Amino acid sequence: MNCPNCNLLAKKHGKDRNGNQRFRCLTCGKTYIEPKDKPLGNMYLSEEKAIQCLKALVEGNSIRSTERMTDVNRNTILSLIETVGKKCLWIQENLAKNVKVADVQADEIWAFIGMKQKTANDYGLTDEEKVGSAYTFTAIESHSKLIVAWHLGKRSEQDALIFLEKLYTAIDGATTRFQMSTDGFKGYDHTVNEVLGTKADYGQVIKIYGKQNPDEVRYSSGDVIEIRKKIICGKPNEDNISTSYVERSNLTMRMSIRRFTRLTNAFSKKWENHNYALALHFAHYNFCRIHKTIRCTPAMEAGITKTIWTLKDILNVATQN
């Protein structure tokens, strides 16, 4: 071990009151302890308390309910979400790569940040203000149940393009062709072929809705009276054109992320915090949560990892960045 002051050889010099090894420089006489990696950076929160908070959050608890359960201040919990969220973004970008895919389903799920879109329009706020409606684009591999890629943005063709570029980056380069299914969102019509080119056999599921229920018109669309399947490019198997898996994944998000629960005051107030909460959810879903259908985690089924991760593993693996 070299001295951090003069960069010369140091020797062991007992231990401090916490049992940490101390060193003393043979030249300048300075004593110090060996630096350790801190998964939570400069936060004073203990790792045990941090994991306790994260467990509550990934099971659908709100910030304030987590505060009551763990006796950790809500501002500390928000800082924890930011710290861990950045690590989870790193995991998605660096570990969920070269994924072998055969059948991918994509969809968008709605939430809002700060205020509803109508209120944002009344205030004259633009998309640059990062308030109003926010859509999370997700792509799930039907066999491994892995969330291959996701993106937070507006429901626009530009954000669909960014999302598909993330999907293209994540899939295995050796993949020659795979089937892809989405809903009838117009933003995919040209962008799928533009980004994925000849790799994707692409089809859409188009739902035809009936008359809306007058008692539920504010929150629910009408009943689905017809489902049509439309081939957009390539030669997809029409029987496999479906969005059932990704829509079930949307339900998991609604149940596991408190800020996605409708008709509550638990909505996100900041775009960044919303993005970090999503990153935490997807990292936990892919690497830690056992899927009952495949009886392991999606990351294990996809061949990304061989073991079931814990939240502590998520904290530690990202420190390699």
pLDDT at 319 over 70: no
Do 77 and 125 lie in one domain? The reply is yes
Q: Would you say residue 41 lies in a domain?
A: no
Do 210 and 163 lie in one domain? The reply is yes
pLDDT at 226 over 90: no
Q: Would you say residue 42 lies in a domain?
A: no
Do 184 and 228 lie in one domain? The reply is yes
CATH number of the domain that residue 176 is part of = 3.30.420.10
Do 187 and 253 lie in one domain? The reply is yes
Q: How far is CA 208 from CA 229, 241, 249, 259, in A?
A: 11, 16, 22, 29
pLDDT at 217 over 60: no
Do 245 and 101 lie in one domain? The reply is yes
Do 209 and 289 lie in one domain? The reply is yes
pLDDT at 84 over 90: yes
Q: What is the distance between the alpha carbons of residues 14 and 147, in angstroms, rounded to a whole number?
A: 49
Do 32 and 67 lie in one domain? The reply is no
Say what the pTM is: 0.87
Digit-coded pLDDT (tens) for 266-279: 999 999 999 999 99
Q: What is the distance between the alpha carbons of residues 294 and 117, in angstroms, rounded to a whole number?
A: 39
Do 281 and 152 lie in one domain? The reply is yes
Do 126 and 24 lie in one domain? The reply is no
Taking alpha carbons only, the member of 256, 276, 253 closest to residue 84 is 276
pLDDT at 210 over 50: yes
Do 4 and 66 lie in one domain? The reply is no
The tally of domains found in the chain comes to 2
pLDDT at 231 over 60: yes
Identify the domain containing residue 115 by its residue range: 47-320
Q: Which band of pLDDT confidence, cut at 50, 70 and 90, is reported for residue 219?
A: low
pLDDT score recorded for residue 2: 73
Q: Which band of pLDDT confidence, cut at 50, 70 and 90, is reported for residue 291?
A: very high
Helix ranges (H only) for the chain are: 47-58, 63-70, 74-94, 117-122, 157-170, 188-196, 244-256, 271-287, 298-301, 311-317
Q: What is the distance between the alpha carbons of residues 278 and 272, in angstroms, rounded to a whole number?
A: 10
Do 56 and 137 lie in one domain? The reply is yes
Q: Would you say residue 156 lies in a domain?
A: yes
Q: What is the distance between the alpha carbons of residues 278 and 183, in angstroms, rounded to a whole number?
A: 22
12 versus 2: the higher-pLDDT residue is: 12
pLDDT at 320 over 60: no
Digit-coded pLDDT (tens) for 136-193: 999 999 999 999 999 999 999 999 999 999 999 999 988 889 999 999 999 999 999 9
Least confident of 121-135, 207-221, 281-295: 207-221
Q: What is the distance between the alpha carbons of residues 96 and 189, in angstroms, rounded to a whole number?
A: 26
Q: Determine the straight-line distance between the first and last CA of the chain, rounded to whole angstroms.
A: 23
Do 23 and 145 lie in one domain? The reply is no
**What mean pLDDT is predicted for residues 256-263?**
93
pLDDT score recorded for residue 26: 79
Q: What is the distance between the alpha carbons of residues 122 and 133, in angstroms, rounded to a whole number?
A: 14
Q: Would you say residue 191 lies in a domain?
A: yes
pLDDT score recorded for residue 207: 87
